[in-house]
Amino acid sequence: MNSKVLLVVLGLAALVVADSRETYSYAAPRGSSESQESLESGEVKYNFNWAVGDDSSSNEFGHQEARDGEDTQGSYYVQLPDGRLQKVSFHVDGDDGYVAEVTYSGEAQFPDSDESDESREAPRRYYAAPDSNESK
């Protein structure tokens, strides 16, 4: 009986605390009148790019994108493990959405291997039951 009363009291206390919490509203950031006007008109404008070139792993990748109102276009690229460079160029068309063109430069190269496919078997794992004398 005491636990039921305690649960009811704790439940009521939780409701009071939840009801007294402040509510927050979010608005667009305050800035110059130009940025406020562009937010209200729906015009968006940005341009960015970044690239990474890691010489120790020969890894290269990057991304470039620009938008001016409804016109969005850009590209991104990555160095594939086989040595080719994969590049995706894209634009956003209002009716067709995201339209991408994928291209590859370079030729795929694979290291020479003296081993045949048959000799590259998965390592075999063996299970040995524990020695019954050690568990005593």
Give the list of residues 6+ apart from residue 78 with CB closer than 8 angstroms, or none: 60, 61, 85, 86
Is the model more confident about 30 or about 65? 65
Confidence of residue 136 (pLDDT cuts 50, 70, 90): low
Give the list of residues 6+ apart from residue 75 with CB closer than 8 angstroms, or none: 63, 64, 65, 87, 88, 89, 90
Residue 132 is encoded by which pair of tokens? 């019954």
User: Could you give the 3-state DSSP secondary structure of residue 6?
Assistant: helix
Separation between Cα atoms, residue 78 and residue 48, nearest integer Å: 17
Whether residue 47 is predicted with pLDDT greater than 90 in this model: the reply is yes
Provide the whole-model pTM: 0.51
Whether residue 101 is predicted with pLDDT greater than 90 in this model: the reply is yes
Among the listed residues 91, 88, 93, 92, the one whose alpha carbon sits nearest the alpha carbon of residue 103: 88
Whether residue 36 is predicted with pLDDT greater than 70 in this model: the reply is no
Separation between Cα atoms, residue 15 and residue 20, nearest integer Å: 9
